[in-house]
Amino acid sequence: MVTYQYNCETDGPTDVSRPMGEATQTIECPVCNQQAQRVFSMPLVSAVDQKRMKLIDSTKATSDRPEVVTSIPNDGRRKKQPMAPNNPLLQKLPRP
């Protein structure tokens, strides 16, 4: 759904949500039932989170020229410690 803006001469701007491409040039004003004209405005690009925009830009950049890596990236997980064999003598040792 896309939000379209219409302007009524008596009641001012009105926002209407419609599927993309299905907006008409005029609608009835929900307050006074007069014809309200569609207003073409710029999209709200500045309202987008900067981290999200950076992620979108980096994803687009790697689609045609992938990054070259020289080693396996660290995924942040700790390495698994090897398990001690199940020895009944070890169970008698004091625990920290």
How do residues 21-76 score in pLDDT, each as one tens digit? 888 899 999 899 999 999 987 665 556 678 888 888 877 777 777 777 777 777 77
Cβ neighbourhood burial of 87 (10 Å; 0-12, 13-18, 19+): exposed
User: pLDDT band for position 18 (50/70/90)?
Assistant: confident
Domain 2-39, CATH class in plain words: mainly beta
> In sequence order, what are the beta bridge partners of 28?
35
pTM of the model: 0.45
Q: What's the pLDDT at 35?
A: 93
pLDDT for position 28: 92
Q: Would you list the domain boundaries of the chain? A: 2-39
In a 10 Å sphere around its CB, with 0-12 CB exposed, 13-18 middle and 19+ buried, how is residue 53 labelled? exposed
Spell out a b/e string for 55-85, using b for 16 or more CB atoms within 10 Å of the CB, else e.
eeeeeeeeeeeeeeeeeeeeeeeeeeeeeee
Stretch 1-21: mean pLDDT: 87
Longest dimension (CA), the chain: 89
